[in-house]
Amino acid sequence: MATPRARRYHPFLNAAGQLRSGWWVLFYLLFLGAINLPLQALLHARGFVPTEIQRDAITCFVLGLAAWPCQALRRRPYAELGLTPSWAWLKELLLGSALGSLLMLGPALLLAIACGLRWAPNPAGPALVWHNLALLGVAALGEELFCRGFLFQRLLAGLGVWPAQLIMAAFFVFTHWHNPGMSGAVRVLASVNVFVASILFGQAFLRTRRLALPLGIHWFANWTQGGLLGLGISGHATTGLLMPTALSGPDWLTGGQFGLEASLPGLACVLGMTALLARYPPARHSG
């Protein structure tokens, strides 16, 4: 008895007759370029030099706008990307904020016990609270829009969870590769920590299918580390409410200039939170 002929591979369409996710990734990147390049040229022609917050806000705007024509062409609602505010979105943002704070308070406490890390009030800190919250919030939103937004969701649909997670985690490490303090043992620990943190943010999205939870974790991990404790954020110095006054120990233990993200306690805490979040089932996706 003759066996049915196997379905021939189609380079553009999947088994459901829809355009393959890889092409949507390409289209999104093309839309990004088509929006960003003329916008940057216009700003430059007008002599507009954005502040750091304005630059990150423009990046968020472009990243979000580029997804709109893709979703329209796919005939899918924009809300599918997990950006639409709601009470559930707000609650997940607050939960993520608490988890992000714990993610950095844990290793800070361990370093205070093991390495004598101490703080003193920073006189310049209170004036920068809102600035730091806004700056770190917009920066985290831009990273989450790119790493857990349209691209990540198309990779999930086309390749599955773990290939998508590993690709975005590798990209996340690449974006931090040349940050200040990335050398020697710190580079190894920081790279592993950043890699696992990306997996954590991806799991947070998968558990909710909204960007609020990963955004909250990302935002307040950075703010707690820098805006509150006054430590480096991925190698970048920050003025916080507190000012570190004493810390002794090797860089692989303390994180050195890179911050808690490159410390051994920091890695232990991010691994623990990732394992904890993995225990909860992912949300079902209507798409």
C-alpha distance from residue 119 to each of 104, 122, 222, 262 (Å): 15, 9, 18, 19
pLDDT of residue 25: 95
Query: Which residue carries 């829009």 as its tokens?
Result: 145
Distance between CA 25 and CA 63 in Å, rounded? Answer: 13
C-alpha distance from residue 162 to each of 126, 182, 193, 261, 274 (Å): 42, 27, 17, 23, 14
Please provide the size of the chain in residues.
287
Q: Cβ(135)–Cβ(205) under 8 Å?
A: no
209 CB-contact burial (10 Å; exposed 0-12 / middle 13-18 / buried 19+): middle
Distance between CA 98 and CA 107 in Å, rounded? Answer: 15
pLDDT of residue 287: 47
Q: Cβ(167)–Cβ(155) under 8 Å?
A: yes
Distance between CA 131 and CA 234 in Å, rounded? Answer: 18
pLDDT of residue 46: 93
**For each of the chain's 287 residues, which pLDDT tens digit applies?**
444 454 577 787 877 778 889 999 999 999 999 999 999 999 999 999 999 999 999 999 999 999 999 999 999 999 999 988 899 999 999 999 999 999 999 999 999 998 889 999 999 999 999 999 999 999 999 999 999 999 999 999 999 999 999 999 999 999 999 898 888 888 999 999 999 999 999 999 999 999 999 999 999 999 999 999 999 999 898 899 999 987 788 888 888 889 899 999 999 999 999 999 988 777 765 44
Distance between CA 118 and CA 110 in Å, rounded? Answer: 11
pTM of the model: 0.92
pLDDT of residue 12: 79
Distance between CA 254 and CA 145 in Å, rounded? Answer: 30
pLDDT of residue 133: 97
Nearest residue to 231 via CA among 263, 192, 193: 263
Tokens of 27: 């289209």
